A = this chain, B = another copy of it.
Amino acid sequence: MKTYIGIDLGGTNVRCSTVQMDGTVIETVKGPSHADEGAEAIISNIAAMIRQLKDWQNASGIGAAAPGPVARDGNGMAMCTNIPCLAKFPLRDTLQNELHLPCFLGNDADAAGLAEALVGAGKGLRTVIYITLSTGIGGAIVYNGQLLPGSHGYSMEVASMSVDGSRPKINLPANGAVEDWASGTSVTRLGREKMPDQTIAHAGQVFDLAAQGVGPAAAIVDQVTTDLAVMFGNLATTIDPDCFILGGGMMKSAGLFLPMVKEKYQARVLPALRDTAFLTASLDEPGVVGAAMLPMSNGL
Contact = CB atoms under 8 A, between A and B. Distances in A.
A227 interface: yes
A162 B268 contact: yes
Given A160-B233, A268-B174, A240 B154 contact: yes
Interface string A209-243: 00000000000000000110010011111111110
Interface residues of A, number: 50
A78 B230 CA distance: 25
B272 A152 contact: yes
Contact of A237 (B78, B159, B230, B239): B159
A94 B219 CA distance: 55
A199 interface: no
B161 A237 contact: yes
Interface of A is mostly: loop
Interface stretch (A83-91, A143-151, A255-263): A143-151
A166 interface: yes
A235 B158 CA distance: 9
Nearest to A126: B151
Interface string A111-133: 00000000000000011000000
Quick one: copies of this chain in the complex?
A: 2
Most B Cβ at <10 Å: residue of A151, A159, A230, A239: A151
A251 interface: no
B155 A240 contact: yes
A81 to B, nearest CB: 14
A267 interface: yes
A237 B268 contact: no
A240 B141 CA distance: 11
A161 B239 contact: no
A157 interface: yes
B269 A173 contact: yes
Contact of A162 (B154, B155, B233): B233
A165 interface: yes
Given A174-B230, A270-B157, A239 B148 contact: yes
A224 to B, nearest CB: 12
16 contacts: A78-B272, A141-B238, A143-B148, A151-B242, A152-B272, A154-B237, A154-B272, A155-B240, A160-B269, A161-B233, A162-B230, A162-B233, A162-B268, A165-B176, A173-B270, A174-B269
Interface of A: 69, 78, 126-127, 141, 143, 148-166, 172-176, 226-227, 230, 233-242, 267-270, 272-273, 276
The 8 closest A-B pairs by CB, nearest first: A150-B240, A164-B165, A154-B240, A166-B166, A151-B242, A155-B240, A152-B272, A174-B268
